[in-house]
Amino acid sequence: MSLPASLPASLALAHFTSVWMGWRYLLSQRGEYAAFISWVSVIGLALGVAVLIVVISVMNGFDQELRSRILGTVPHIVILAPDQNAALPELDADVGVRAVFPFFEADGMVARNGGVNAVAVYGLDARGIAALDVLRDNMRQGSLQALVDTPGSLIMGAPLARYLGLFQGDSVNLVLTAPAGNTIKPRIERFQLAGTFEIGAELDYGLALIGYADARQRGLAATGRFGTRLLLVDPLVIDPTVAALRAQLPAEWQIVDWRADFGELFRAVRLEKAMMFLLLLLIVAVAAFNIVSAQTMLVHERRADIAILRTMGASGGLILRMVLVQGLSVATLGIGLGVALGVALAYRVTETVAALEQLFGARLLDAFYLDELPALIMVSDIVTISAMSLALCFVSALLPARRAAALHPADALHGG
């Protein structure tokens, strides 16, 4: 059985009619209180969406800063041979590795003028220095090249040097531990401070760099471990690389990746971001549910008009779409304003925080590693927030629309 040729045109006309009538009733609300509730819904949605976008963008920025500052410094993967003098086999070029260089790692303490601080000790050669862009670009004094050119050189974080009262050229005692039977004994090595770095992370207080050749010549194998350090193209996509390395290396070789030390930190950041998203989405949900009140009042205000439309032959579907258009128009306006406000605030979040600090007379960024709040505005986040907000508003507007569609004309005219 074929459909009448005029059916698509009739459906289009019905949809246009419901949209036109919905807009007309929305813009001509007679009750001041109903109009006030509608505007409250718009403002509440705008503020909720804006806050959600700003907070998620700031957390994206923090996540990006953590990745660049921490993962740009710590070893992505360290390969340890059973024999510390064994050579690394040739690796395939398709395992996602950007740089390979020999590496020394130990735990120790730096001591000077009665001050002591625990540090991780890294030994780097020329290839390692060339690969670590983050450290090289954030040197405050001296140069990483001193680790290769000047034996006995040591480089540490600028905040740690200030804490210990050290200046470039001062001598530094590096205290390492070596096993001695059933116990350990300290081993003190003297170095000279050749430079300082500051990357704006906790490593500024807990990392000391020495030359790889120094570690070899001083026989520091007993105090730490020699291995091969791999710098990955994308340290977050690490499982395929680890699997490929295990397939290529002998079974007795050990593979340690950055997740052993910093995996919990990044998991905590992701969990915090998810929890903040859900909590702030509740604010949007509360604002969305205000649409129920606004639309219920509008339906009550237009009971007589709806009854007249029904007696003139308007279908329940047309009435439902008409009321839905009113609710979704309020929602779209609120979400649109919220997206615009949220993107603007996220783009200028540092200036916004500075204005709040001046307004309330309090420092919000005291004891903070970064001088400004990082923000990363992602289109996918904005689309997700807008879609979820619109879905909540649709659910909120559906109940009054269904009640309006089920309204009996005789009851409405009698009560109106």
pLDDT tens-digit map of 140-187: 998 889 999 899 999 999 989 988 888 898 899 998 888 777 778 888
The residues, any chain, with a CB within 8 Å of residue 117's CB and separated by 6 or more, are 109, 110, 160, 163, 164, 205, 206
For residue 192, the model assigns a pLDDT of 92
The C-alpha atoms of residue 297 and residue 53 are separated, in whole angstroms, by: 31
> Three-class SS of residue 171?
strand
Structural domain including 38 reads 7-66+267-415
Same domain, 385 and 299: yes
- Write down which residue in 257, 283, 318 finishes a domain: 257
Same domain, 32 and 107: no
| Number of compact structural domains in the chain | 2
> Three-class SS of residue 291?
helix
The C-alpha atoms of residue 248 and residue 231 are separated, in whole angstroms, by: 17
Same domain, 171 and 319: no
108: closest CA among 191, 39, 44, 28? 191
Is residue 320 assigned to a domain? yes
Is residue 72 assigned to a domain? no
Contact 121, 208 (CB under 8 A): yes
For residue 92, the model assigns a pLDDT of 63
Regions of the chain short of the pLDDT cut 50: 1-3, 5-23, 367
Same domain, 49 and 105: no
- Write down which residue in 235, 257, 279 finishes a domain: 257
Chain position carrying tokens 């604010």: 283
Contact 349, 373 (CB under 8 A): yes
The C-alpha atoms of residue 341 and residue 311 are separated, in whole angstroms, by: 44
Same domain, 132 and 156: yes
Same domain, 56 and 102: no
Torsion sign over Cα 258, 262, 264, 265: negative
Residue 316, number of CB atoms within 10 A of its CB: 13
Same domain, 36 and 82: no
For residue 208, the model assigns a pLDDT of 92
For residue 327, the model assigns a pLDDT of 77
Same domain, 175 and 248: yes
For residue 348, the model assigns a pLDDT of 84
Is residue 319 assigned to a domain? yes
Is residue 156 assigned to a domain? yes
Is residue 292 assigned to a domain? yes
Residue 349, number of CB atoms within 10 A of its CB: 20
Same domain, 289 and 238: no
Same domain, 18 and 93: no
Same domain, 301 and 219: no
- The CA angle 56-71-68, to the nearest 5 degrees, is 50
Is residue 306 assigned to a domain? yes
Is residue 262 assigned to a domain? no
For residue 303, the model assigns a pLDDT of 62
Instruction: Output DSSP code: residue 160.
Output: H
Same domain, 122 and 252: yes
Is residue 71 assigned to a domain? no
- Write down which residue in 239, 257, 275 finishes a domain: 257
